[in-house]
Amino acid sequence: MRYAYYPGCSYHGTGKEYESSTHAVAKKLGMELVEIPDWSCCGATAAHGKSHLLNISLPARNLAIAEDMGIMDVTTGCAACYQQLAHANKRMTENKETREKVNKITGKEYKGTLKVKSLVEAIGTIDPELLKAQVVKPLSDLKVAAYYGCLLVRPPEITGFDDPENPMFMDNMMKLAGAQALDWAHKTECCGASLGVSNLDVAVRMINRILKAAVESGADCVVVACPFCHLNLDWHQKSVNKQLGTTYEMPVFYFTELLGLAMGISPDELGLKTHFTDTQKVLSLVG
Amino acid sequence: MELINLNQSIAKNAHFIEEIGIESGQPVQKCYQCGKCTAGCPVAFAMDYTPNQVIRMVQLGMKEDLLKSKTIWICASCSTCSTRCPCNVEIAHVMETLRIMAGRSGTAPAGKAKYVEVMYNALLSTVEKYGRTYEVGLVLQNNLKSGKLFNGAEMGLPMFQKGKLKLSPSKVKGAAEVARIFSEVRKMEGGV
Q: What is the ipTM, given to two decimal places?
A: 0.94
Distance CA A68, CA B70 (A): 43
- Enclosing domain of residue A150: 131-285
Question: What is the reported pLDDT for B114?
Answer: 96
Question: What is the reported pLDDT for B167?
Answer: 77
Give the closest of A57, A189, A274 to B162, CB-based: A274
Do A140 and A81 fall within a single domain? no
Q: Do B96 and A48 touch (CB under 8 A)?
A: yes
> A14 pLDDT band (50/70/90 cuts)?
confident
Is residue A84 one of the residues assigned to a domain?
yes
Last residue of a domain, one of A76, A91, A120: A120
Residues in A closer than 8 angstroms to B177, CB to CB, are 40, 61, 106-108
Environment class of residue A82 by beta-carbon count within 10 Å: exposed (0-12), middle (13-18) or buried (19+)?
Answer: buried
- Tell me: pLDDT of A35 over 80: yes
Question: What is the reported pLDDT for B151?
Answer: 77
- Structural domains in chain A (count): 2
Is residue A37 one of the residues assigned to a domain?
yes
- Tell me: pLDDT of A61 over 70: yes
Do A95 and A155 fall within a single domain? no
Question: What is the reported pLDDT for A129?
Answer: 97
Question: What is the reported pLDDT for B192?
Answer: 52
**Which CATH number is A175's domain given?**
3.40.50.11810
Do A135 and A276 fall within a single domain? yes
Do A144 and A279 fall within a single domain? yes
Give pLDDT tens digits for A145-197: 999 999 999 999 999 999 999 999 999 999 999 999 999 999 999 999 999 99
Do A141 and A270 fall within a single domain? yes
Q: Do B162 and A193 touch (CB under 8 A)?
A: no
Environment class of residue A168 by beta-carbon count within 10 Å: exposed (0-12), middle (13-18) or buried (19+)?
Answer: middle
Do A101 and A200 fall within a single domain? no
Q: 3-state class of A253 per DSSP?
A: strand
Question: What is the reported pLDDT for A203?
Answer: 98
Residues in B closer than 8 angstroms to A189, CB to CB, are 42, 80
Report the side by side order of strands in the sheet with A73-76. A32-35, A2-5, A73-76, A115-118
Q: Which residue ranges of chain B lie beneath pLDDT 70?
A: 1, 191-192
Using an 8 Å Cβ cutoff, are A69 and A34 in contact? Answer: yes
**Fold observed for domain B6-105:** Fumarate Reductase Iron-sulfur Protein; Chain B, domain 2 (1.10.1060)
Question: What is the reported pLDDT for B137?
Answer: 81
CA distance A149 to chain B (A): 8
Is residue A125 one of the residues assigned to a domain?
no
Q: Do B80 and A188 touch (CB under 8 A)?
A: yes
Question: What is the reported pLDDT for B150?
Answer: 76
Do A142 and A263 fall within a single domain? yes
Q: Do A40 and B172 touch (CB under 8 A)?
A: yes
Averaged confidence pLDDT in chain A: 96
Question: What is the reported pLDDT for B55?
Answer: 98
Residues in B closer than 8 angstroms to A197, CB to CB, are 119, 138-139, 142, 151-152
Distance CA B158, CA B137 (A): 17
Do A234 and A278 fall within a single domain? yes
Give pLDDT tens digits for A231-279: 999 999 999 999 999 999 999 999 999 999 999 999 989 988 899 999 9
Question: What is the reported pLDDT for B130?
Answer: 95
Do A218 and A97 fall within a single domain? no
Domains of chain B by residue range? 6-105, 112-189
Q: Do B191 and A200 touch (CB under 8 A)?
A: no
Average pLDDT of span A138-146: 96
Give the closest of A51, A165, A209 to B189, CB-based: A51
Do A218 and A94 fall within a single domain? no
Using an 8 Å Cβ cutoff, are A168 and A174 in contact? Answer: no
Residues in A closer than 8 angstroms to B138, CB to CB, are 197
